[in-house]
A and B are shown apart, each in its own frame.
Chain A
């Protein structure tokens, strides 16, 4: 009787859980070695859930996304060089960003989408950049706080490579977190704790391009199911914050629009795979 109750309770818990992963096996691309985490679709409150964000993150609204796979790590230099062999992520004030296991940076939105297209053609799978809704769903991993580890910014250095006290030594005028993640610039991917879906570096390390065209009022215009803004606009959205950003930039709902040909030292990407 007790065993039955336990089983029923466990089943109910699974059923009411807003987000669940690993119900389906994860995917590893044999050509590049890229690992993808299966994310079961669902609905969540998208936007500035805690009221500490910018106007472009409001209104908070319910959004539903279908199942998808998302890369466990950001695309690394080694992975990107399989597509563009001469790619050089360069360095920042003498500190390299170009090691194989560091995330690929100085990749424009056009470069990132071209990489997804190349990978799709070579594997027969369907890869693309995540939509904003998918990205935030994967970042939140069922949480409603500003960051997937909670609202406390001081815990950042356990989960993310951010502008921290190490960075402060090099650039004293930066606004930083009051913790030490031991990396001044980008860290090798997966250096910090993942979120509850098992995805690494969803916040920090490098910004990540998404599929959506940037519109500051997109949340007033989009449908509830699988929204993606494709209206007029010259910018695409990047999410997640990077190693050079302080607390205001390291939040799951934070969104920034940038020109599609723009690339910089803390801007990379990760892909999603469509089941």
Chain B
């Protein structure tokens, strides 16, 4: 009888001992903190940087990387020697200046971010291959959107000036109006597609907004199905609807200009025949308004007239 009570009393203690043993066994060895000085010392000189940093997600205790020590030193490395020598840019401290190797700078960020979904294609990213480091675009001391150094499109245009020029043409995607961003179409960290676009093909990307152009159509216009960029510019054009050329020249890039009303007329033809009325309204799309594809019946649909 007493033995039964004794077992009931001792059982909980036995379980407690077992859990304690398991938890001790799981404990990782502490990281050696040699040469680390602590953020309190850093902020003695770098108060502004620490102040802005401490408001960001990076400063949260829950965010800890593999090299994690104390805040600043997670990325900048151990700072004891730097302090001993009185500081100075890059003096015995990891510095993110332009003249520091790109791989080393990015490696600091990648030590935490490498295995994230966003960085999955970084190794084949054109930006990486062209020598762009994370901190060329991001600054961890500020807590702005995505830690970007400046407003997104202005940041991209800092290098891609030709694209900026295109967005100022009369027909353009509304980037400068702020309705879309570069990242609406491109993934700067790398993708499988060309031009780092966020889809497998150009058309798939365009269809995310311009779904009405996807079809399906009874009468398909082959270049539309093939590549939107056959007729359109992506960023901006001096021709309406971001067209590469003004119709009819655009259409005549494929269609024979000697046939149908698209035939050009000589000065003789204009003044000697009744065809002169064809000199106006010849922009193809006036009649072939369903140029992306048509479900219209018979020949009208076939010719994208309706």
Contact residues of A with B, CB < 8 Å? 54, 92, 163, 171, 173-175, 207, 235, 238, 241-242, 244-249, 254, 256-258, 264-266
Q: Are the CB atoms of B38 and A173 closer together than 8 Å?
A: yes
Q: Are the CB atoms of B41 and A171 closer together than 8 Å?
A: yes
Tell me if B81 counts as interface (CB < 8 A to partner A). Answer: yes
Q: How far is the CB of B218 from chain A (nearest CB, A)?
A: 67
Q: Given A256-B91, A264-B45, is A175 in contact with B81 using a C-beta cutoff of 8 Å?
A: yes
**7 tightest A-B CB contacts, nearest first:** A246-B84, A256-B88, A249-B86, A175-B84, A249-B85, A264-B45, A248-B85
Contact indicator per residue, chain B 37-61, by CB within 8 Å of chain A (1) or not (0): 1101100110000000000000000
Contact indicator per residue, chain B 258-297, by CB within 8 Å of chain A (1) or not (0): 0000000000000000000000000000000000000000
Partner of B84, one of A207, A235, A245, A265: A245
A-B contact pairs, 25 of them (CB 8 A): A92-B44, A163-B84, A171-B40, A173-B80, A174-B41, A175-B81, A175-B83, A207-B86, A241-B86, A242-B86, A244-B83, A246-B83, A246-B85, A247-B84, A248-B81, A248-B85, A249-B84, A254-B85, A256-B85, A256-B91, A257-B88, A258-B88, A258-B89, A264-B44, A265-B44
Q: How far is the CB of A197 from chain B (nearest CB, A)?
A: 23
Q: How far is the CB of B46 from chain A (nearest CB, A)?
A: 9
Residue of B nearest to A262 (CB): B45
Tell me if B248 counts as interface (CB < 8 A to partner A). Answer: no
Q: Are the CB atoms of B85 and A244 closer together than 8 Å?
A: no
Further pairs besides A245-B86, A246-B84: 10, Cβ < 8 Å: A173-B36, A173-B37, A174-B80, A244-B83, A245-B83, A245-B84, A256-B86, A256-B87, A258-B89, A264-B45
Interface centre among A54, A175, A207, A247 (most CB of B within 10 A): A175
Residue of B nearest to A171 (CB): B41
Q: How far is the CB of B90 from chain A (nearest CB, A)?
A: 9
Contact indicator per residue, chain B 73-107, by CB within 8 Å of chain A (1) or not (0): 00000001101111111010000000000000000
State in angstroms the CA–CA spacing of A171 and B36 once bound together: 12
Q: Are the CB atoms of B41 and A235 closer together than 8 Å?
A: no
State in angstroms the CA–CA spacing of A255 and B88 once bound together: 9
State in angstroms the CA–CA spacing of A19 and B91 once bound together: 32
- Residue count of chain B within 8 Å CB distance of chain A: 17
State in angstroms the CA–CA spacing of A258 and B88 once bound together: 6
State in angstroms the CA–CA spacing of A238 and B45 once bound together: 14
Q: Given A173-B36, A174-B41, is A248 in contact with B87 using a C-beta cutoff of 8 Å?
A: no
Q: How far is the CB of A183 from chain B (nearest CB, A)?
A: 16
Chain B residues with CB below 8 A from A171, complex form: 40-41
Q: How far is the CB of B69 from chain A (nearest CB, A)?
A: 11
Chain A residues with CB below 8 A from B84, complex form: 163, 174-175, 245-249
State in angstroms the CA–CA spacing of A171 and B81 once bound together: 14
Interface centre among B38, B44, B85 (most CB of A within 10 A): B85
Q: Are the CB atoms of B86 and A238 closer together than 8 Å?
A: yes
State in angstroms the CA–CA spacing of A54 and B81 once bound together: 12
Interface centre among B80, B81, B83 (most CB of A within 10 A): B83
Q: Are the CB atoms of A174 and B45 closer together than 8 Å?
A: no
Interface centre among B41, B80, B84 (most CB of A within 10 A): B84
Chain A residues with CB below 8 A from B41, complex form: 171, 173-174
Residue of A nearest to B79 (CB): A173
Q: Are the CB atoms of B85 and A245 closer together than 8 Å?
A: yes
Q: How far is the CB of B39 from chain A (nearest CB, A)?
A: 11
Q: How far is the CB of B209 from chain A (nearest CB, A)?
A: 45
Q: How far is the CB of B89 from chain A (nearest CB, A)?
A: 7
Residue of B nearest to A242 (CB): B86
Q: Are the CB atoms of A175 and B80 closer together than 8 Å?
A: yes
State in angstroms the CA–CA spacing of A171 and B79 once bound together: 14
Residue of B nearest to A173 (CB): B37
State in angstroms the CA–CA spacing of A235 and B84 once bound together: 20
State in angstroms the CA–CA spacing of A87 and B108 once bound together: 40
Partner of B37, one of A54, A174, A241, A245: A174
Q: How far is the CB of B45 from chain A (nearest CB, A)?
A: 5
Chain A residues with CB below 8 A from B80, complex form: 173-175
Chain B residues with CB below 8 A from A173, complex form: 36-38, 41, 80
Q: How far is the CB of A112 from chain B (nearest CB, A)?
A: 17
State in angstroms the CA–CA spacing of A96 and B181 once bound together: 51
Residue of A nearest to B91 (CB): A256
Partner of B91, one of A54, A175, A207: A54
State in angstroms the CA–CA spacing of A163 and B41 once bound together: 13
Chain A residues with CB below 8 A from B44, complex form: 92, 244, 264-265
Q: How far is the CB of A125 from chain B (nearest CB, A)?
A: 30
Chain B residues with CB below 8 A from A249, complex form: 84-86
Q: How far is the CB of B77 from chain A (nearest CB, A)?
A: 14
State in angstroms the CA–CA spacing of A245 and B44 once bound together: 13
